[in-house]
Amino acid sequence: MTTNNYLSHKLITARDLQKIGFTPYRSKMIIRTAKAELVKKGYVMYDNPRLGDVPPEIVAEITGVSLLDLRGAISNEEK
């Protein structure tokens, strides 16, 4: 296991990525890539095709989108 705490924040979905401007296809590919990276880092629970939520930190690493934008996409849905 790594020292990063990926499980401490709300998770993000492909639908959240679409809200900030990614296409549906690109959103799904980002989630797929994030899951593969998490499995490489030792989080084997992400090796599950039914799991579609990933931590925003890994998505930010992949896309370069700030965590504030990602968290804004999540919080806007809750309102």
Phi, psi (rounded to 5 degrees) for 54: -135, 160
Give me the pLDDT at residue 77, please. Answer: 57
Domain ranges for the chain? 14-78
Residue range 42-71, pLDDT digits in tens: 999 999 999 999 999 999 999 987 877 776
Helices (H), 1-79: 14-19, 24-40, 56-63, 67-78
pTM over 0.75: yes
